[in-house]
Amino acid sequence: MNGRGGLRCRASRLLHAGAWWLWALGLAAAASRSTNPLILGLIVAVTAVAVTLRAGDTPWVAAYGAAFRLAAFVLLIRVAFGILFGFPIPGTGVLTLPEIPVPEWAAGVRIGGEVTIEQIALAFYDGLRLATIIICLGAANALSSPTRLLKSVPGALYELGVAVVVAMSLAPQLILDAARVRDARRLRGRSTRGAAGVVGLVGPVLDGSLRRSLDLAAAMDTRGYGRTAHVPAAVRRLTSGLVLAGVVGITIGIYGLFDGSSSPWIGLPMLGAGMLLGGGGLLLGGRRTARSRYRPDAWRAAEWWVALGGWAAAASVWFVTTSDPAQVEASVTPLTWPALPWLPVIGLAVAALAAVVAPAPPPTMDIAPDDDEPTRSHRTGINSSATITKSVKDNGQVTEADRRTAGVGA
Amino acid sequence: MIVFDDVSVVYADASEPVLKHVSLAIPEGELCLVVGPSGSGKTTLLRLVNGLVPHFSGGTLHGRVTVDGRDTRTHPPRELADIVGFVGQDPSAGFVTDTVEDELAYAMESMGIAPDVMRRRVEETLDLLALAPLRRRALRTLSGGEQQRVAIGSAMTTHPRVLVLDEPTSALDPSAADEVLSGLQRLVHDLGMTVLLAEHRLERVVQYADRVVLVPGDGAPLIVGEPATVMRNAPVAPPVVELARVAGWSHTPLSIRDARRAAVDLRTALASSVPLLDADQDSAPPIGDSLLTLRDVRVGYGRREVLHGIDLSISTGEVVAVMGRNGAGKSTLLSTMVGLRVPFAGEVCVLDADPASLKPKDLVARIGLVPQQAADLLYAESVGEECRQTDEDSGLESGTTAAMLRSIAPWVVDSTHPGDLSEGSRLALALAVVLAPDPPVLLLDEPTRGLDYTAKRHLVDVIAAASARGRAVVIATHDVELAAEVATRTLVLADGEIVSDGPTRRIVTSSPMFAPQIAKTLAPLPFLTVGDVRRALASLPDAG
Amino acid sequence: MSARSTAIPVGRRSLVALVVVSLVGMAAFSWPLVMTPSAGIAHGADAPWIFAAVLPLLIAVIAAELADGGIDAKSVAMLGVLAAVGAALRPLGGGATGFQPMFVVIILGGYAFGAGFGFVLGAVTMLASALLTGGVGPWLPFQMFAGAWVGMAAGLLPHLVVRGRLWLLAAYGFVSSLAFGLLMNLSFWPWALGLSSESASSPLAYVAGAPWQENLRTFATFHLATSMGWDVTRGIGTVVLVLVAGRAVLGALHRAGRRAAFDAPREFVPPLPRIGAGSAP
């Protein structure tokens, strides 16, 4: 760590969990405003750069790959809907589907029929936008795992944060338990194939995990979970008041949004105010738990750069949308190749730069000992559980080969 | 420090008190050992100190428990967290966070301690328990001993005055257990902590204790006193104490060192009986046909090979103990024998069939395995239902399994849910279920984990009976006392290979780590168990 | 037969918050039908994003209210475990059939432990499973809300004798699966078929500014054409699972509730009277 401040000389540390999420949300906001495939493609590229350079060595990195798969699936669905239910846009016909007759009361709707390339293109652009948002959120997952984010949850939601953390760390364990109980079924002379085999796992696995939950609860109680701080009555009343005002504000804001004839002040501004008040009430409500934080993540300059970088991209796209909408919307009639406006490119470059400038994560020392009987799996994150469950879906049972490749022990 | 004032506990759905009229005072800085059979109320006693009983578990508390002046009636567990640290039986079930460092800090976070103080205390605890190289590791990847140390560390960061541990070494092999216990010793001597400890494997621990509390169970009064006094007449006692009874010593030794000093005369007297032991060997049942063969078997997970080229043959009537440190491949070997793991190379043959390719029903008729967690085998609603289902599954006469269970563990009630049974009863039920179809080969994986001496004795009887009937039994264990008691042959597995294979007497006495207490006491004479000594003494010409 | 354990009690203030926020949430779900044509944002593409941002805050508010008295460690641990079961089951369903076994966990958990627990269980299960399987998208807040309602309503079902309750739960499972699908489709509808501010890209798309009857009709057609198949499969799958595994699961939950002793009394009384000799030395 030296004071020259050059790009390469930053000490490696983990950024505050919120910084990457804000960055990714900024990119997602940028994506939500545009259907220009070039802009969207550039956004995906920026996330790929960030994940390659700055994602640590945790099992959560697989979330990025999973996001791509999900995005592809969503894109496919959207295009399929566009082909089946799309409004006939005149243009070059590509294929003709049989038209399905529609009942009387749904007249005016067409299912099937001739499909033009303009129709497909429209569906594709739309789906691409949603896919890009999913990829941005997947990148956020990969760059800064949700477990770290849950540590920064406001005090009022502490208990629920704990529940989510417990759920996420227990889920892979449950899959291992199920594998073990499956083996034991074979030892009892029962078949493990088919529906009966799967249902027979339910009782023991559930029983075992509920029993373990009780041990967990005892351990939490023993270590002081649930100690409350004394909160003066005035603060308590203030908290309730803020939350109430927030909910009222949101309600009025939503009503204002719905009803076009009301004044513009009872709409988004009211909604915004309501959300701020409600958020304030939540933060204040955290006072009742007397908890401190061990080595809390610091929010330093690097976090500001990263967060603002993402929103710079969003701002650039928004600006172009208001000044010249045609540039961010891909036109379908006529179907022309979209142009790439220069402002969003600069904005996205800033976002990419922010990711590069951020400090690298320290290498995780997750090396397991030479333990030949991995009753605990070493890297059971999304990876191996996804592999196992995929096999269960496919064959109805986990074969030996699947278990071996997933590296999970008995 | 801890005062029980005429305490009785009745749980919410029970009619009889678990503990009755307990009055006990444990002064500061003592290491107090709580012993007693399974289900006698030891866990309840420990949880009273913490306030978990009755705040967490429900129930009625008669009388009063005071810890460092605080009354548990008015202080629930979270308010005692700064003076009492509690480590439960299964450390991995009590982990609240993901990494070692966060786990150590959790208790302090709950108490709102300032961040710099937390940081300092975490560093101290890491040093105290030698956890510094593990600090950023995920808890799931740690070994059993390391997890236990982390659990103790996380109970200690709040600087409690009292540390309560419920069976801390039950899942550990001897070397890991020694690490943990010597760590506790150091805490008591260097930090003046009061430690309250419940253990079944007394031989590891009784030498360190300042005071012993014997909980007989069934509401009988507790017996409290110096270790030597209590152990002299206790129903559960380590082998050296039983040796003292058999040899008629006036002073009860608790450690190997004391026992060796007291056994000088005994060794001289027994020197002449050694040839008889070898004669014992010859009168063992003749080895019959080979039931289970492994030829050059290589097994592993993913791309990693765990067992490298195992060659093994097990015949009728043999009782084989497979020993080795945790992680050497014992469980993998047993899983391969029963066909749950398919080897990369080599052949496994059980009664002329490959177990991996057998149908479950055929498999069960040939070979049975009781896994490490016996509860995995049990999934009916009640014990009776479990027995009935086994009879059905294996085509046995109705009532066979129930009769088998009654012969092993007559005290088990038919209507209990298997999950509510104690460790010993659960193992007995699993044994009954596996033994009912009477397979020629029986495999047991770590059967003595969590068992008290009485249950262990029942287990030894069952194994001996099976062997007498001509069944082959293979036991993977690191409980050397069990191996000494019942095994005719011992294999030692290390780094995926068999490093020694021979008669138990020879293997077990050749290595100091694996020798049972009697062997260590009477070395160089090759006596393994109290039974050996008793028989030898009886055969001496001037025996009365 | 079995008294229900209430893992998370719902006080009067929490109840009020629950009702109010549920109504607001309902509005958020049904905005495509309810918005008037002249509303400012009706023509923009912003409405779904605004609601996707508002819903998490609303869920947080209810959660904070329910947690106000402090949630017991046992309830939190049980919540975590059941959510883990649901999350582990989620990859098994989904895909082409729409079958979601994790629903069964939410329904049975809510039934066994009460409405408050059911609400939180639904939300936490959806969140944890989305995080674990990487299925985080703009529909997550809507899913959390809908899942929470399913759990809460399950907790409000009456308690029946053993035989009857499985059928009741199966019926509820079918209805709630369909309702869940309907709600999710309603919220996803603008995304599925286009938010373009151009002329409608599909006759089945949400037409910003059209009168609500027309939107309703369009939506109904869209729903029947697309999601109904999946919803019916999900419903049938849920019914089958409840009938087959319901007894085992409810039994395990009931035993866990008993062991956890949520409602068991804790009493502190004077020492027992002594009969005969004194205690140990």
Residues 6+ apart with CB under 8 A from B343: B297, B298, B299, B307, B336
Of C124, C116, C64, residue with least CA distance to C262: C116
Please tell me whether the peptide bond between B524 and the residue prior to it is cis, using omega within 30 degrees of 0.
yes
Q: For residues B485 and B457, give the distance between their C-alpha atoms in angstroms, rounded to a whole number.
A: 9
For residue B213, the chain C residue with the least C-alpha distance is: C280
C71-111 pLDDT, tens digit per residue, is 888 999 999 999 999 988 887 765 545 567 888 999 999 99
What pLDDT band is residue A375 in, cutting at 50, 70 and 90?
A: very low
Structure tokens at A333: 């009639």
With an 8 Å Cβ cutoff, are B369 and A187 in contact?
yes
- How far is C-alpha B339 from the chain's CA centre? 26
For residue C251, the chain B residue with the least C-alpha distance is: B381
CA distance C246 to chain B (A): 14
Q: What is the pLDDT of residue A404?
A: 38
Mean pLDDT confidence for A175-189:
87
Nearest to B394 among A180, A189, A204 (CB): A189
- State the angle between helix axes of A233-258 and C12-29 in degrees (0 to 180), rounded to the nearest 10: 20
Using H for helix, E for strand and C for coil, what is the string for B321-379?
Answer: EEECCCCCCHHHHHHHHCCCCCCCEEEEEECCCCHHHCCHHHHHHHEEEECCCHHHHCC
For residue C31, the chain A residue with the least C-alpha distance is: A258
With an 8 Å Cβ cutoff, are B17 and C272 in contact?
yes
For residue A292, the chain B residue with the least C-alpha distance is: B112
For residue C74, the chain B residue with the least C-alpha distance is: B56
- Of the listed ranges A89-93, A259-263, A287-291, B361-365, the least confidently predicted one is A259-263
Residues 6+ apart with CB under 8 A from B104: B122, B125, B126, B150, B153, B154, B157
- CB count in 10 Å sphere of residue B138: 23
Q: For residues B293 and B405, give the distance between their C-alpha atoms in angstroms, rounded to a whole number.
A: 30
Contacts within 8 Å (CB) and 24+ apart, C190-195: C190/C32, C190/C47, C190/C48, C191/A130, C191/C48, C191/C138, C191/C139, C192/A77, C192/A78, C192/A81, C192/C222, C192/C226, C193/A81, C193/A82, C193/A85, C193/C222, C194/A122, C194/A123, C194/A126, C195/A126, C195/C45, C195/C48
With an 8 Å Cβ cutoff, are A204 and B390 in contact?
no
- CB count in 10 Å sphere of residue A7: 9
B221, B213 in Cβ contact below 8 A? Answer: no
C82, C226 in Cβ contact below 8 A? Answer: no
Q: For residues C153 and C111, give the distance between their C-alpha atoms in angstroms, rounded to a whole number.
A: 8
Mean pLDDT confidence for A337-343:
84
Q: For residues A371 and B323, give the distance between their C-alpha atoms in angstroms, rounded to a whole number.
A: 16
For residue B75, the chain C residue with the least C-alpha distance is: C268
C42, C215 in Cβ contact below 8 A? Answer: no
- CB count in 10 Å sphere of residue B114: 10
Name the DSSP letter for residue B402.
Answer: H
B368, B292 in Cβ contact below 8 A? Answer: no
Nearest to B23 among C258, C269, C279 (CB): C279
Q: Which residue, among B92, B376, B393, would best test binding to A if mutated, counting the most A CBs under 10 Å from its CB?
A: B376
3 state DSSP class of B63: strand
3 state DSSP class of B28: coil
Please tell me whether the peptide bond between B54 and the residue prior to it is cis, using omega within 30 degrees of 0.
yes
Q: Which chains would you list as touching B if contact means 3+ CB atom pairs under 8 Å?
A: A, C
Residue B444, Ramachandran bin (φ over 0: left; ψ between -120 and 50: alpha; else beta): beta
With an 8 Å Cβ cutoff, are A188 and B433 in contact?
yes
Identity at B203, one-letter amino acid code: E
Nearest to B363 among A186, A227, A372 (CB): A186
Q: Does C81 touch chain B (CB under 8 A)?
A: no
Nearest to B59 among C255, C258, C266 (CB): C266
- Residues 455 through 474 of chain B touching chain C, CB cutoff 8 Å: none
For residue C76, the chain B residue with the least C-alpha distance is: B96
Q: What is the pLDDT of residue B47?
A: 93
Mean pLDDT confidence for C246-268:
83
Q: Which residue, among C55, C132, C228, would best test binding to A if mutated, counting the most A CBs under 10 Å from its CB?
A: C132
Nearest to C71 among A126, A134, A159 (CB): A159
Q: Does C247 touch chain B (CB under 8 A)?
A: no
Q: In this predicted model, which residue has the larger pLDDT, A403 or B272?
A: B272
Chain C hits for A393, CB-CB cut-off 8 Å, are 91-92, 95
Mean pLDDT confidence for C193-210:
54
Q: Which residue, among C71, C78, C81, C266, would best test binding to B if mutated, counting the most B CBs under 10 Å from its CB?
A: C266
Q: Does A206 touch chain C (CB under 8 A)?
A: yes
Using H for helix, E for strand and C for coil, what is the string for chain A?
Answer: CCCCCCHHHCCCCCCCHHHHHHHHHHHHHHHHCCCCHHHHHHHHHHHHHHHHHHCCCCHHHHHHHHHHHHHHHHHHHHHHHHHHHCCCCCCCEEEEEEEECCCHHHCCCCEEEEEEHHHHHHHHHHHHHHHHHHHHHHHHHHHCCHHHHHHCCCHHHHHHHHHHHHHHHHHHHHHHHHHHHHHHHHHCCCCCCHHHHHHHHHHHHHHHHHHHHHHHHHHHHHCCCCCECCCCHHHHHHHHHHHHHHHHHHHHHHHHHHCCCCCCCCCHHHHHHHHHHHHHHHHHHHHHECCCCCCCCCCCHHHHHHHHHHHHHHHHHHHHHHHCHHHCCCCCCCCCCCCCCHHHHHHHHHHHHHHHHCCCCCCCCCCCCCCCCCCCCCCCCHHHHHHHHHHHHHHCCCCHHHHHHHCCCC
Q: For residues C83 and C102, give the distance between their C-alpha atoms in angstroms, rounded to a whole number.
A: 9
CA distances from B23 to B11, B100, C268 (A): 19, 38, 17
Q: Does A285 touch chain C (CB under 8 A)?
A: yes
What pLDDT band is residue A405 in, cutting at 50, 70 and 90?
A: very low
With an 8 Å Cβ cutoff, are A227 and B136 in contact?
no
For residue B416, the chain C residue with the least C-alpha distance is: C255
B276-319 pLDDT, tens digit per residue, is 665 555 445 556 788 888 989 999 888 888 899 899 999 998 99
Identity at C70, one-letter amino acid code: G
Q: In this predicted model, which residue has the larger pLDDT, A362 or C197?
A: A362
C161, C103 in Cβ contact below 8 A? Answer: no
Residue C276, Ramachandran bin (φ over 0: left; ψ between -120 and 50: alpha; else beta): left
Q: What is the mean pLDDT of chain A?
A: 77
Chain C hits for A199, CB-CB cut-off 8 Å, are 244-245, 248
Mean pLDDT confidence for A313-338:
80
pLDDT tens series, chain B, 544 aa:
999 999 999 988 788 888 989 999 999 999 999 998 877 788 899 999 999 988 888 889 999 999 999 999 999 998 999 999 999 888 888 898 888 999 999 999 988 899 999 999 999 999 888 889 998 888 888 888 889 989 999 999 999 999 999 998 887 877 888 888 888 888 888 888 999 999 888 888 888 899 999 998 777 889 999 998 998 888 878 889 989 998 888 888 988 888 999 999 888 888 887 766 655 554 455 567 888 889 899 998 888 888 998 999 999 989 999 998 877 789 899 999 999 989 988 999 998 888 888 888 888 889 999 998 888 888 888 899 899 988 888 888 888 888 888 888 877 888 888 887 877 888 889 999 998 888 999 999 988 887 888 888 888 999 999 999 889 999 999 888 899 999 999 999 988 899 999 998 888 888 777 788 899 898 888 888 888 888 888 888 764 4
With an 8 Å Cβ cutoff, are B54 and C267 in contact?
yes
Chain A hits for C248, CB-CB cut-off 8 Å, are 199, 202-203, 206
Q: Which chains would you list as touching C if contact means 3+ CB atom pairs under 8 Å?
A: A, B
Q: Does A135 touch chain C (CB under 8 A)?
A: no
CA distance B182 to chain A (A): 23
CA distances from A406 to A124, A146, B5, B326, B538 (A): 35, 23, 55, 23, 59
Mean pLDDT confidence for A105-127:
74
Q: What is the pLDDT of residue A6?
A: 41
Q: Does C258 touch chain B (CB under 8 A)?
A: yes
Q: Does B222 touch chain C (CB under 8 A)?
A: yes
Q: For residues B277 and A263, give the distance between their C-alpha atoms in angstroms, rounded to a whole number.
A: 103
Query: What percent of chain A is modeled with pLDDT above 90?
Result: 7
Please tell me whether the peptide bond between B227 and the residue prior to it is cis, using omega within 30 degrees of 0.
no
Structure tokens at B159: 């600087």
- CB count in 10 Å sphere of residue B217: 16
Chain A hits for B375, CB-CB cut-off 8 Å, are 204, 208
Burial tier of A214 (Cβ tally within 10 Å: 0-12, 13-18, 19+): buried
B132, B126 in Cβ contact below 8 A? Answer: yes
For residue C218, the chain A residue with the least C-alpha distance is: A106
Nearest to A223 among B81, B301, B306 (CB): B81
A vs C: CB pairs below 8 A:
291
Name the DSSP letter for residue B132.
Answer: G
pTM for the model stands at: 0.84
Mean pLDDT confidence for A55-75:
83
Q: For residues B497 and B225, give the distance between their C-alpha atoms in angstroms, rounded to a whole number.
A: 47
What pLDDT band is residue C280 in, cutting at 50, 70 and 90?
A: very low
With an 8 Å Cβ cutoff, are C39 and A77 in contact?
no
Residues 6+ apart with CB under 8 A from A176: A375, A376, A377, A380, A408, A409
Q: What does chain A come to in residues?
A: 410
3 state DSSP class of B129: coil
Q: What is the pLDDT of residue A2?
A: 41
With an 8 Å Cβ cutoff, are C261 and B57 in contact?
yes
What pLDDT band is residue A392 in, cutting at 50, 70 and 90?
A: very low
With an 8 Å Cβ cutoff, are B94 and A219 in contact?
yes
Using H for helix, E for strand and C for coil, what is the string for B184-250?
Answer: HHHHHHHHCCEEEEECCCHHHHHHHCCEEEECCCCCCCCEEECHHHHHHHCCCCCHHHHHHHHHCCC
With an 8 Å Cβ cutoff, are A251 and C24 in contact?
yes
pLDDT at C12 over 90: no
Q: In this predicted model, which residue has the larger pLDDT, A105 or A294?
A: A294
CA distance B64 to chain C (A): 8
Q: For residues B487 and B503, give the distance between their C-alpha atoms in angstroms, rounded to a whole number.
A: 8
With an 8 Å Cβ cutoff, are B6 and C271 in contact?
yes
Q: Does A70 touch chain C (CB under 8 A)?
A: yes
Mean pLDDT confidence for C197-221:
62
Q: In this predicted model, which residue has the larger pLDDT, C160 or B264?
A: B264
Q: Does C47 touch chain A (CB under 8 A)?
A: yes
A201-252 pLDDT, tens digit per residue, is 888 888 888 988 988 999 999 998 888 777 888 888 888 888 888 888 888 8
Residues 6+ apart with CB under 8 A from B248: none
Determine phi and psi for B461, rounding to 5 degrees.
-60, -45
CA distance B502 to chain C (A): 46
Q: In this predicted model, which residue has the larger pLDDT, A203 or A46?
A: A46
Please work out, in degrees rounded to the nearest 5, the angle formed at the alpha carbon of residue B313 by the alpha carbons of B311 and B319. 125
Burial tier of A98 (Cβ tally within 10 Å: 0-12, 13-18, 19+): exposed
